[in-house]
Amino acid sequence: MDINHSPLDRAFILELPDELLGMIISHIAPIIDDLRYLREQYQPYEMAVALSLVCKRFYRITVPYLYAELVVNTGDNTWRRPTQISKYLHRTFRENPLLWKLCRHLTVTYDQSNVDNLYAVTDCLTWLTATKSLTIWGFEGRPVWELLQLGIKHISGCHILSLDASYRYNLHLPFVIDALGDFKSGFLPNLQTLKLGGVSIYGDQICQEELREKAGTAPFTKLQLRSFLLTPRSLEALVRWPRCLEEFELKYSSGDNFATSGLYSYWSLATLQPILYIHRKTLRSIKLYGLHKNGFDGFDLREFENLEKLSLASQFCGHQLFKRNEICEPPDGLLAPRLRVFHWDLTLLDQQCGEGLGDFGQEEENWLRLLARKAIKHGCPLQRIEITFNPVIEEYISITDEVYPWDRMDNMGADLRPRGIEVSYNTPSVSRERYSMLLECVAEDNPKLATEVE
């Protein structure tokens, strides 16, 4: 025993209770993002694996995090390390069935041209029955639908089901309806969230007829749609499927590649009004983005008695990229009687460009201030305004506003805070110093602008 070191110097971290150790280790645990499969996302696994080899106690605490969120592929992927990770996972599960119960979020990626690991995916869907969230990517060919049915059969305790055919837009809604059944057979009785991405144009009339007989039978209360290519009638039938709907999200009524069209080309907030009205008594959250037409005409939420959060794209008020029309003022119809959070999304997702630094200026600030004043005037319990703003910095930018955009947001928040309304936003993508430097560069290239800035 070394008398020169006190007991506090020796393995102090092991003196902590499991609860605290678990909290520490959880920060290095892998987290998988459904929308971004990048190589660097798997680096946390390396740290977690290293910790699991330190001692038996670390192993016991770390292993559940290692197997909580998993991705298995039908084929090998060169962007993952090791490239045959699905085979290794399958071997591990086959040799140690006690690990099956640890998986909470399982993602399956299906590639029709690469099915060497199909057996591994099939077995994982059969073994990992404790999974609470199941995601399936890629819906090319019949085998993937068989995988979906297999997962539904064995993972009956699933709370979240996400089916994604982004980029190809070949998720056929009639097939989804058939796979999920009538929910009376015992499969997915506890389903809470249904996420559908890349819904194809196939079977518009078919799904309307099938869902008409199933109205009010589905248990899920949250419906999230992305790139929905069917008609409003099919969306209405889909919305009628659950007994009650608490959260609704629609991003893009066409392909999110801005090139793929759906069956209906006139989607607007007015189109959605009668569809959402079906669940006006239960909806607590509505999120809308990427419709064909802007404007608030025909959109009124004042009868949505339990709506607490509303998230809208800024384009609805006339905030556009290439043609900046005069921004229409926020209508009273946005102020649901229990609205507490209004989220304004200035994100512009496009293959060619994104939102610019000048896209949150005086007009945008005025619009939000007017919304807040109307909420106060009408007794709406608005408590928070959330802003999503991720401007792209280009080599040649045209900013003329000397006020740093996020200073505008802070000033607005300071003015509204005494009235009980907080203003929050995502982390700024450009520092104040960088913005000032960019403004000076623009002014140097434009002497007239330099005079205006001074």
d(CA 378, CA 362) in angstroms, rounded, equals: 24
pLDDT of residue 449: 47
- Among 372, 370, 394, residue whose Cα is nearest residue 384: 372
**Buried/exposed code over 321-348 (b: 16+ C-beta within 10 A; e: otherwise):** eeeeeebeebbebbbbeebbbbbbbbbb
Question: What is the DSSP secondary structure assignment for residue 28, as one 8-state letter?
Answer: T
The tens digit of pLDDT for each residue in 89-147 reads 999 999 999 999 999 999 999 998 889 999 999 999 999 999 999 999 999 989 999 99
| Six-digit token string for 373 | 């004043």
Phi first, then psi, for residue 242 (nearest 5°) are -75, 155
Cα separation of the two ends of the chain:
72
Q: What is the 8-class DSSP label of residue 82?
A: S
Q: Computed over its alpha carbons, how large is the radius of gyration of the chain?
A: 25
What pLDDT is stored for residue 263 in this prediction? Answer: 97
Cα 163 vs. chain centroid, distance in angstroms?
13
All residue ranges of the chain with pLDDT < 50 are 1, 33-41, 78, 321-323, 395-396, 449-454
What's the rounded Cα separation, in Å, for the pair 332 and 296? 10
Are 416 and 423 a contacting pair, CB within 8 Å? Answer: yes
Task: Enter the tokens of residue 305.
Answer: 């008695």
Respond yes or no on whether the N-terminal peptide bond of residue 331 is cis (omega within 30° of 0): no
In the chain, the percentage of residues whose pLDDT exceeds 70 is: 85
Up-side HSE of residue 84: CA atoms within 13 Å toward CB?
6
pLDDT at residue number 159: 97
Per the listing, tokens 């049915």 go with: 149
Determine the pLDDT at residue 258: 82
